[in-house]
A and B are shown apart, each in its own frame.
Chain A
Amino acid sequence: MNLQRPDPDALLTRVQAEEARRSEGKLKIFFGANPGVGKTYAMLEAAHEQRRDGVDVIIGVVETHGRVETEALVSGLEVLPRRAVEYRGTVLQEFDLDGALARHPTVILIDELAHTNAPGLRHEKRWQDVQELLKAGIHVYTTVNVQHLESLNDVVAQITGVRVRETVPDSMLERADDVELIDLPPDDLLQRLKDGKVYVPEQIQHAIKNFFAKGNLIALRELALRRTAERVDQQMEVYRRDHAVVRTWPAAETIMVCINMKPRGLRLIRAARQMAAGLHAKWIAVYVQIPRHLRSPQADRDRLVQAMRLAEQLGAETVTLAGEHVAQELLSYARGRNVTKIIVGKPVRPWWKEWIFGSTVSDLVHKSGDIDIYVITGEAGEGTPLVRRDLRRTSRAADYAYASLGIAGATAIAWLMFPYFAPANMIMMYLIAIIVVAIRLGRGPSVLASILSVAMFDFFFVPPYFSFTISDIQYVLTFSVMLVVALVISNLAVRIREQAELARSREKRTAVLYAMSRDLAIHLGTEMLACLATKHLREVFDGQVAIFLADAERRVRLQLGEQLYFELDPKESGVAQWVFDHTERAGLGTDTLPGSSALYLPLVGSTGAVGVVAVRPKDAGLLLDPEQLHLLESLVNQVALAIERTRLSEEAQQAHVRVETERMRNAILSSVSHDLRTPLATITGAASSLLDEESRMKAADRLELCRSIYREADRLDRLLKNLLDMMRIEAGAVHLNKEWHPVDEIVGAVLARLEVPLRDHIVNATFPADLPMVQIDGVLMEQVLINLIENAAKYAPLGSAIDLFASAGDREIVVEVADRGPGIPAGEENRIFDKFYRAQPAREGGVGLGLTICRGIVEAHGGRIWAENRTGGGAVFRFAIPRQKEPPPMADEQAETKHASS
């Protein structure tokens, strides 16, 4: 494929990546072939240069190892205080990441990128600290030696015989904006070593002679130079791509590396990484899970997870396939992905096993077609024993006893058949028994059954009877065939069983996913979803599960419900927030805070993180199983999407409510400001006229002005009272001071208060004598009646009657206020209780709050209020107050004296 111009999509991706990188800090690596070449010194010198230019440079962590020249360079720079971490009784002075983030310098110096942090710190490795610093926009200067590079780890081990445990992913070197190679010829280095100017790291102290052999130094120097050159090469290529330099591009290569649970997985991955880097190819790490792996011991699974994680770190895509035939699955996947090269490990089984059972590698080679197969040496003799030990463990002793019993049973039946049937039929009986044993009890017992059945057959049914000796030599063939057939049948039966198990586990997984997605789909509300998700996750991962959801300030909070229980370790309280902020997993089984007891996964929706899931299974090993981890990821994805969906719909809802509220508030403001200003205008006007010294107003006019001030002030007062009542009701701040009240007494109090406004109307109040008392807040109920009666007086023609009734039902007491006014416009019966509703111009304008307040108070009492047009004209307002219980008993006075006056 020849490309003349850059692919626009690829270009876009790169531009986006660069956009993202722009906000991040720049990384400068001082790269060396081995300790002692002067990386730290060079870094400090560069720092001083920056400082002279006025840049804010601080030392995050620098190891001088007591070297005088280096220490002299440190002295002029600000040094970030170390963080003391206690670990197994000793106090370690570690780099203080949070301190650095808080201090936020322009440039920070971080020595020894490959350093492993003390347990308990946020990240396992220092390079992860550096990543976080870069993300925070801080420029980092750091140092690293070539032997610490992940992909060169094996090569260096081969050269020097020392395996370095502290590694840095190659991606760090690749993402570096600047790599400065600190080079020192081997002879000079050896001289410095002799002068005691080189600090020797612990891990190579015992191998110092070997490590610093001149040959090694030359080889390491070459590696470092080559690695740096490779980087320059890459930069060149990027430049070419960006500028569409015409050139023959290599065909796009895709490399697939197959790993299993064997220890050489890591080596395979490193090899694949190197090949991929050399070819500029993308690469995929694939693991095929076959039924047998379901029962693998923990150590093997750990190894697999480790290998997969390494692959991910080195930039591979990782895939888990499931199937019976490894080679077949690999090839079909490889074809689907246009893989051009497959890397596999060299088989480690003995030749005869290969010959009998076949091997994945030879299958691959035979069926691969145009795909190249690369076979890479494994470290022999380590893989098999693990599996064998495992086999022994999975079948219990009892299973073997049952297998023996089964064969005994078959022998008994055969014994009954013996007089009537040919010996061949006896063999059939045994085969049936073997199949049953294989299906029920597994591989080991079925092998035992196969051997036992041959022995039994020989002992009971082959002359001479009751002896293992045989008279006829032809039976040797019979036995051999019988044994082989028995073993083959048992093996097949076991496989069927294993496949059934695999199918069952897949079925279970699908069922769990389905059940959860169904539950999540039909429920709304983030709390509810969190609760459901927790329930489902707990069903799969026996133990504690918790969900943290983010609030508006992007702080995550633990969601607790009735059945939710999660012991939040105080040391882990910040983990969830960290996971949320970085959308990276942390905790158990990860590189970040691996010491914690739970695994924290971000809930990532399409628009970013919405929360965090914490899982603390009873069996911590469960989370290391790639199958389970995969299931967990699928579940967590579902939860994230469901929560995001709900969040979005809630947000839409809130936005709608906000618009409505805003509209309402504007209506209130315009209405209130008008209603407040009118009386104020009158008061101001009247008062200013009275103050006017030049006016020659008559005394009667002055009095009239004073009256109008008084009237308008009174109106203003009522308006304010209504508004305040309204606000209290709306805020839900109404506190009911309930006492037993006779309704007629309240009506009496209201009529006394409204004497003046009601003087132009006839008020008829009729109440049955036996009207029971109700539990109400007297003051608020008075307000209801005042508003209703005032409302009636406002609309009813002067001189007309306002009628008040009350009646008691079993459940409630109904009070009504009826007038002979114009009535309520049809269809408006409910709207009149709305805020700021005004039916029509009344004699005295109100704000339109009175009825709303009535409704608020009545509803606070658990009652209802409604209005209708009265027969014969006018409106009638009714409200009902529930009679919750009977009034308390009274002390009976009848026993006492009847008359006071006699």
Chain B
Amino acid sequence: MSQDVTILLIEDEPEIRRFLRTSLPAHGFRLYEATTGQAGLTEAKARNPDLILLDLGLPDLDGTEVIRLVREWTSTPIIVLSARDQEQTKVEALDKGADDYITKPFGVHELLARMRTALRHVARVPDAVESVFSVEGLRVDLGRRQVFVAGEEIHLTPIEYKLLTVLVRHAGKVLTHRQLLKEVWGPLHVEESHYLRVYMRQLRNKVEANPAHPRYLVTELGVGYRLKTE
């Protein structure tokens, strides 16, 4: 990573801030800190960071509210730091525009992996959609609408294909059920999560070598799905 990557950490717990303050610069990030939602918003406008790490349990503002306010003017990736038993808030945060989440307690490697994915995704946006996505044995050629598994081309129904392309466009990032349903079936079907599950199973049967132990199409229970990139 380049030395210029700036991170804004909005977190009220001093020990977590201390831990990130020591580990992130060691990996080449420049870290700015804010302890409240309001300070975080000001800081975000002043520094225009490359990525925001946001704690959901802030003393002043609701975390999802911070996301909404940030999203009013920038698409800077936001990774949510959530405590356990917050599935609902987590999904809400993602629906409001957070890019990913990580559950406390987390290790620094896990966090770095999430941050890299988020930053890579941003880096990709200006070049429009990459025409070919490839990870291990899976290759999706978006330009030619072809899908290969271990070199063999497989046939997908239009919905299966659409579902896969949505995941490919956000590869590595978790997509909530709502987001996927909205993209594939349209805004009228955002509540019908069983559609998604049925098609996801069909898609896995075609794409995964062992659908009961998927390698590419990972389930984040209670949240959504993610296409693995590594």
Residues of A within 8 A of B (CB): 710, 713, 717, 721, 724, 737, 739-742, 744-749, 751-752, 763, 765-767, 769, 773, 778-779, 782, 804, 887-888, 890-891, 893, 896-901
Contact = CB atoms under 8 A, between A and B. Distances in A.
B158 A893 contact: yes
A748 B213 contact: yes
Contacts, number: 96
Interface stretch (B8-16, B167-175, B218-226): B218-226
Nearest to B210: A765
Interface of B: 84-85, 87, 105, 107, 145-147, 153, 155-161, 192-195, 197-198, 200-201, 204-205, 210-214, 218-222
Given A888-B192, A888-B194, A901-B156, 4 more contacts: A745-B201, A763-B213, A896-B158, A900-B161
B161 A742 contact: no
A746 B222 CA distance: 10
A751 B193 contact: no
A742 B211 CA distance: 12
Q: Lowest 10 A-B CB distances belong to which pairs?
A: A900-B161, A740-B194, A765-B212, A749-B219, A779-B222, A778-B221, A751-B213, A900-B156, A782-B221, A749-B221
B196 to A, nearest CB: 10
Tell which of B84, B201, B204, B213 has the most Cβ of chain A within 10 Å. B213
B54 to A, nearest CB: 22
A765 B213 contact: yes
Given A740-B193, A767-B212, A773-B197, A748 B219 contact: yes
B197 A901 contact: no
B148 to A, nearest CB: 10
Contacts of A899: 155-157
B219 A746 contact: yes
Interface of A is mostly: mixed
B160 A900 contact: yes
B101 to A, nearest CB: 14
A804 B210 CA distance: 14
B155 A900 contact: yes
A747 B212 contact: yes
Given A749-B221, A763-B213, A739 B193 contact: yes
B194 A744 contact: no
A446 to B, nearest CB: 86
Contacts of B212: 744, 747-748, 751, 765-767, 804
A721 B219 CA distance: 21
A737 B145 contact: no
A742 B197 contact: yes
Central interface residue in B158, B192, B211, B212, by most chain A CB within 10 Å: B212
B211 A748 contact: yes
Contacts of A713: 105
B114 to A, nearest CB: 16
A329 to B, nearest CB: 78
B159 A893 contact: yes
A752 B147 contact: no
A713 B220 CA distance: 24
B197 A745 contact: yes
Given A713-B105, A746-B221, A752 B155 contact: no
Contact of B219 (A745, A765, A887, A893): A745
A550 to B, nearest CB: 40
Given A740-B194, A742-B197, A751-B213, A779 B221 contact: yes
A898 B157 contact: yes
A744 B211 CA distance: 8
15 contacts: A710-B107, A717-B105, A724-B85, A742-B201, A746-B219, A751-B212, A766-B212, A769-B205, A804-B212, A887-B194, A897-B158, A899-B156, A900-B156, A900-B160, A901-B155
A887 B192 CA distance: 11
Contacts of B205: 769
Contacts of A779: 87, 221-222
A496 B159 CA distance: 97
A897 B211 CA distance: 25
Nearest to B212: A765
B218 A749 contact: yes
Contacts of B194: 739-740, 773, 887-888, 890
B197 A893 contact: no
B219 A900 contact: no
A893 B156 CA distance: 12
Contact of A890 (B161, B198, B204, B221): B198
Nearest to B222: A779
A713 to B, nearest CB: 7
A745 B200 contact: yes
A901 B146 contact: yes
A89 B204 CA distance: 88
Contacts of B210: 765
A778 B145 CA distance: 33
A893 B159 CA distance: 8
A833 to B, nearest CB: 23
Nearest to A804: B212
A888 B198 CA distance: 11
A16 B178 CA distance: 78
Contacts of A887: 194
A752 B197 contact: no
Contacts of A737: 87, 222
Q: Which of A710, A741, A745 has the most CB of B within 10 A?
A: A745
A769 B198 CA distance: 12
User: In this complex, which of A741, A769, A778 has the most chain B Cβ atoms within 10 angstroms of its Cβ?
Assistant: A778
Contacts of A745: 197, 200-201, 219
A740 B191 CA distance: 12
Most buried by B among A748, A763, A779: A748
A888 B197 CA distance: 12
Contacts of B221: 746, 749, 778-779, 782
Contacts of A890: 194-195, 198
B157 A893 contact: yes
Nearest to B223: A779
Contacts of B211: 744, 748
Contacts of B158: 893, 896-897, 900
A899 B147 CA distance: 11
B218 A901 contact: no
A891 to B, nearest CB: 7
Contacts of A769: 205
Contact of A901 (B107, B153, B204, B214): B153
Given A739-B194, A887-B194, A749 B220 contact: yes
A549 B105 CA distance: 51
A773 B193 CA distance: 12
Given A740-B194, A746-B221, A901 B201 contact: no
Contacts of A741: 197
Contacts of B105: 713, 717
Nearest to A721: B84
Nearest to A753: B221
B183 to A, nearest CB: 16
A893 B153 CA distance: 21
Nearest to A771: B201
Given A710-B107, A721-B84, A740-B193, A901 B219 contact: no
Contacts of B146: 901
A841 to B, nearest CB: 28
Contacts of A746: 219, 221
B157 A900 contact: yes
A609 to B, nearest CB: 47
A683 to B, nearest CB: 13
A896 B157 contact: yes
Contacts of B87: 737, 779
Nearest to A746: B221
A620 B147 CA distance: 91
Nearest to B219: A749
Contacts of B153: 901
Nearest to A775: B194
